[in-house]
Amino acid sequence: MIVLVRNQIIKPISRLEQATRSISELNFADSDIQEENELGSLSHSINLMKRSLHQHELDLLERNERLKNFSSNLAHELKTPLSVMQLLVDGEDMGLENPTFLPDLNQQLEDMNHLVANILAYSQQMQEELPLGTIDIQAFVEKELTQQRLIAPKFQIELRLEPCRLQTNEQLLRMVFINLLTNGMKYSLDNQITITGEKLGSDYQLIFKNKAIQMTDQQIAQLKEPFVVGEESRNNHLSGTGLGLSIVEQTVKGLDGKMTLQQKNNHFIATITLPIKKETVLK
C-alpha cells in the first residue's frame, strides 16, 4: 500500500512541483506524468499552459528583435534628410549660390513629414486591440482615389472592384491602401496602375498591378524590409519613403490578413488578402 501511494501520488506530485519550478526558470519542456487520474489531468493542463507561455515568449522575442532593427534603421533614415538640410543651410550661410535652395529644403521637409507619418502608423500597431467597423470597399476606394487623382491627374487608374462590406479597422486599411497605391504610382513605367478587388470565400482580395522593371526574387523579398526601395522612382513628384511595404506587411498581419509580392509579365503585383468578417483584431 505504501509503495502504491508513493508511486501513484508522491512521485507524480514531486514531478509536478519540478514542472512548476521549471516554468519560473523559463524551461517549457513537457512534464512526463502519464497517470490516468486527476494528477494526470493536472499535468496535461500544465503542459498546455507551458506551451502557451513558450509561444508567448517566442512572440515577444521576435517583436523585440523587430523593434531593435526598426530603431536602428529609423535612426539612419532620419539622419539622411537632416544631413542634407544641414548642408543646404551651411552652403547658404557661406554665401554659395544655390537657386534651388528653397525647393530642395522643402523636398527634404516633405520627405521627413511623410516618414514621420509612416512611423506613427507603424507604432500604432503596438496596440493590443484595434477598433473594428464595417466598410463599403467601393465607397472607401473611390474616396481615396479622389485625393490621388488631384495629386497626379494624368496618371491612369483602372478600377475593377467586386462589391463587398469588410469588417476591419478603417484607419489601418487606409494606410495599407495608400501605401500600395502610391508605391505602384511612383514606380510605374507607363503611368498606369490597375486595382482589382474580389471575394474569395470568406476573404476579400485586393490586387495592385503596374508595369515595372525586372527584379530578382531576392530583390522582391527585400522590399518588405524597412527603408528598402527597389529602384529610383519614375515619378519623383509623388512623395514617399522605403518604409511603406514593411508597414503594409505588418499592418495586414495585424488585420489577420496576408500580403504577397510578385512579378509577372513585366508587371509588379502586390496582393493583400483580408477576412471579410472578424470578431476582433489583436496584435
Which tens digits make up the pLDDT trace of 128-152?
Answer: 567 889 999 999 999 989 878 877 8
The pLDDT assigned to 281 comes to 43
- Please state the rounded mean pLDDT for residues 101-125: 72
Q: Report CA-CA distances (Å) from 212 to 60, 99, 119, 216, 226.
A: 37, 34, 27, 12, 21
Are 197 and 206 spatial neighbours (Cβ–Cβ below 8 Å)?
A: yes
Q: Which residue segments constitute the domains of the chain, with CATH numbers given?
A: 2-62 (no CATH), 130-282 (3.30.565.10)
- Please state the rounded mean pLDDT for residues 240-247: 63
> What does DSSP assign to residue 194?
E
Predicted TM-score of the model (pTM): 0.62
Q: Quickly count: other Cβ atoms within 10 Å of residue 188's Cβ.
A: 22
Which tens digits make up the pLDDT trace of 59-92?
Answer: 777 767 766 666 655 665 666 667 777 877 788 7
Q: Report CA-CA distances (Å) from 163 to 54, 170, 212.
A: 42, 17, 28
Q: Quickly count: other Cβ atoms within 10 Å of residue 3's Cβ.
A: 7
pLDDT at 93 over 80: no
Q: Rounded to an integer, what distance in angstroms lies between the CA atom of residue 59 and that of residue 65?
A: 10
pLDDT at 57 over 90: no
What residues contact 8, with CB distance under 8 A and at least 6 apart?
35, 37
The pLDDT assigned to 225 comes to 75
pLDDT at 237 over 50: no
The pLDDT assigned to 211 comes to 94
**pLDDT-based confidence at residue 183 (cuts at 50, 70, 90):** confident
